[in-house]
Amino acid sequence: MNRLKDMVICRCEEVTFGQLQETAEKHQCTARELKLRTRAGMGFCGGRTCRVSVDRMIASAVKNVKMSEIPLKYQPPVRPITFGSAGEIND
């Protein structure tokens, strides 16, 4: 069980399963509140890698919440760039 609590769910903000679970159970918060309290989904990827896990955790930890009621969305990058420009080396 300890390994599960230490599993990183949001890699960008380094938020663990245990942190999300404790926060959700303690505050009985919505997905938005959980995101604001833990910063899960607020990193560079904008929640693309952790959104599903956070949504499911909320649904199981908070009573009377359905998956369709969870308004957590993906956040696109501020300014999209090409892979070529991301890999350029500037001297």
Structure confidence by residue, pLDDT tens digits, 60-71: 766 665 544 555
Reduced to 3 states (helix: H, G, I; strand: E, B; else coil), residue 85 is helix
Instruction: Mention the CATH class of domain 2-86.
Output: mainly alpha
Distance CA 18, CA 38 (A): 11
Residue 72 confidence class, pLDDT cut points 50, 70, 90: low
Instruction: Domain ranges for the chain, please list them.
Output: 2-86
At 10 the pLDDT is 87
**pTM exceeds cut of 0.85:** no
